[in-house]
């Protein structure tokens, strides 16, 4: 087992001694020293005035799901700016929201206690939005990237927050024409949330692998099963989260970022898994938007089962070195359901689905809800035969090399039209 070495972290920076510079450089040196001293004073203030971030406790295992859908023309398959029409034609609801682009819309659930209940609400919300889109000869597409539509052709939603993000992050956020699934799992307190996050860090790449559904980008076959993650990680506070000792440690991290002007609030921490103190949840954000209804249910159920097991574990697992986690993340990005993964405990190489099957048996032995596990187990034979969403997209495109036909086939086979 590879373990993280224990280091004490000093908030001050260490600088190598430099040779004395010519006299004309003294002014620049003074400015640099002033900047260094100013930063040190900021960090001293952060250390002395750590911001308290209240964690609004939730019942363990409660569930909320956010799904981001692309709106496309029913004939051409191209993205269309249909979200404003949907939002203006239905009753105002917190369950249906605008996203960064007017060609993407979010649906999200209320609080539920199991995956089937959450899926039932998601199905009803899908039907409501899809019915509104028919007025425009448009439809919803379940994919994490559009196979051919370009981000340059998408319009930014009329929301001050999105325009502020665009001003701050520029090209990085302008190309954010991607969709994902965010799963919120209720946690009883902040320390439990951090404990669960630490336990789940080595498991995160498995979530990406089973949901991978973004093989195309601007009409190009990327060779990746999950190209979305390569866009998502470009955010200033994107990518993998970190290990924390406890909730206070996370508070200190957030306070440091805020005091240095790196974020305005905790909402600006866009890690692929993060605490959500307002909701009282651990939010798993790494997943691609699954390709169909059954894969969505299996993904949600698996994330929930792992999160509950992590939060209730009485033992703290040894920390797996980030280099191993990052390698598994790459394998999930590259190969998706077909990946050969590194077991984070034994470091044995295993096909993802073999690893998952063994892991489900372990979760069952730990008392995980059998109804939830069945949702996952029932998909294993299909995944072994057909692969996941990325495999489906690639096969459909290879059939006739036509992107309009690909998008139409994806919509017809997504299983959400029940």
Q: Dump pLDDT digits (tens) for 241-290.
A: 999 999 999 999 999 999 999 999 999 999 999 999 999 999 999 999 99
**In this predicted structure, what is the pLDDT of residue 385?**
97
Check if the beta carbon of residue 270 is closer than 8 Å to that of residue 49: no
Looking at per-residue pLDDT, the higher value among 210 and 35 belongs to 210
Specify whether the backbone of 219 is left (phi greater than 0), alpha (psi in -120 to 50) or beta: left
Check if the beta carbon of residue 256 is closer than 8 Å to that of residue 287: no
Judged by average pLDDT, the poorest of 39-43, 52-56, 289-293, 344-348 is 39-43
Q: Which residue has the tokens 């919300």?
A: 125
Query: Span 351-358, mean pLDDT?
Result: 98
Q: Which residue has the tokens 């790494």?
A: 286
Mean pLDDT, the chain, integer: 90
Alpha-carbon distance of 349 to 228, in angstroms, equals 25
Structure tokens at 216: 């195309």
With a CB cutoff of 8 Å and minimum separation 6, the contacts of 296 are 67, 119, 122, 142, 181, 290
Classify strands 138-141 and 63-73 as parallel, antiparallel or unpaired: antiparallel
Domains of the chain: 63-412 (3.30.590.20)
Structure tokens at 27: 């002014």
Residue 228 has pLDDT above 50, yes or no: yes
Residue 36 has pLDDT above 50, yes or no: no
Judged by average pLDDT, the poorest of 6-20, 39-53, 70-84, 365-379 is 6-20
What is the share, in percent, of the chain residues with pLDDT greater than 90?
Answer: 85
Alpha-carbon distance of 229 to 240, in angstroms, equals 11
If we measure between CA atoms, which residue out of 34, 131, 17, 145 comes closest to residue 85?
A: 131
- Helix axis angle, 322-335 relative to 204-211, nearest 10°? 0
> Facing residues of 222 across strands?
none
Say how far residue 362 (Cα) sits from the centre of its chain: 25
Looking at per-residue pLDDT, the higher value among 21 and 164 belongs to 164
Given pLDDT bands bounded at 50, 70 and 90, which one contains residue 51? confident
Q: How many other CB atoms are there within 10 angstroms of residue 337's CB atom?
A: 24
Structure tokens at 84: 């404003």
Residue 204 has pLDDT above 90, yes or no: yes
With a CB cutoff of 8 Å and minimum separation 6, the contacts of 22 are none
Alpha-carbon distance of 101 to 79, in angstroms, equals 10
Q: pTM here?
A: 0.89
Check if the beta carbon of residue 289 is closer than 8 Å to that of residue 278: no
Given pLDDT bands bounded at 50, 70 and 90, which one contains residue 315? confident
**In this predicted structure, what is the pLDDT of residue 20?**
39
How many angstroms separate the first and last alpha carbons of the chain? Answer: 47
Given pLDDT bands bounded at 50, 70 and 90, which one contains residue 317? confident
């Amino acid at each position: 087992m590879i373990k993280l070495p224990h280091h004490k972290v000093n908030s001050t920076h260490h600088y190598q001694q430099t040779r004395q510079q010519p006299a004309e450089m003294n002014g620049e040196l003074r400015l640099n020293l002033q900047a260094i001293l100013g930063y040190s004073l900021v960090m001293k203030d952060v250390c002395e005035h750590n911001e308290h971030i209240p964690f609004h406790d939730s019942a363990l295992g409660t569930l909320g799901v956010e799904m981001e859908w692309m709106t496309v023309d029913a004939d051409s398959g191209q993205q269309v700016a249909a979200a404003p029409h949907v939002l203006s034609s239905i009753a105002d609801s917190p369950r249906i929201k605008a996203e960064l682009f007017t060609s993407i819309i979010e649906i999200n659930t209320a609080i539920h206690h199991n995956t089937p209940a959450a899926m039932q609400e998601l199905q009803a919300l899908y039907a409501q939005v899809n019915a509104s889109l028919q007025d425009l000869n448009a439809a919803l597409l379940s994919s994490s990237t559009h196979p051919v539509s370009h981000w340059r052709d998408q319009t930014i939603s009329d929301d001050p927050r999105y325009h502020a993000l665009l001003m701050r992050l520029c090209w990085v956020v302008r190309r954010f024409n991607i969709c994902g699934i965010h799963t919120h799992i209720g946690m009883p307190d902040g320390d439990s949330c951090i404990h669960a996050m630490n336990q789940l860090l080595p498991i995160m790449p498995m979530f990406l692998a089973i949901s991978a559904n973004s093989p195309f980008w601007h009409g190009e076959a990327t060779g990746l099963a999950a190209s979305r993650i390569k866009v998502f990680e470009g955010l200033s506070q994107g990518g993998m989260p970190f290990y924390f000792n406890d909730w206070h440690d996370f508070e200190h991290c957030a306070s440091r970022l805020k005091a240095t002007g790196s974020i305005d609030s905790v909402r600006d921490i866009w890690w692929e898994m993060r605490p959500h103190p307002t909701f009282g949840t651990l939010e798993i954000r790494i997943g691609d938007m699954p390709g169909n209804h059954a894969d969505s249910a299996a993904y949600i159920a698996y994330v929930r089962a792992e999160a509950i097991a992590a939060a209730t574990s009485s033992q703290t697992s040894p920390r797996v070195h980030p280099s191993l986690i990052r390698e598994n993340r790459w394998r999930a990005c590259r190969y998706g359901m077909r990946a050969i993964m590194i077991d984070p405990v034994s470091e044995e190489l295993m096909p993802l689905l073999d690893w998952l099957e063994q892991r489900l048996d372990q979760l069952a032995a730990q008392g995980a809800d059998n109804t939830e596990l069945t949702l996952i187990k029932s998909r294993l034979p299909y995944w072994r035969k057909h692969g996941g969403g990325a495999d489906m997209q690639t096969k459909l495109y290879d059939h006739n090399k036509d992107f309009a036909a690909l998008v139409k086939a994806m919509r017809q086979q997504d299983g959400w039209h029940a």
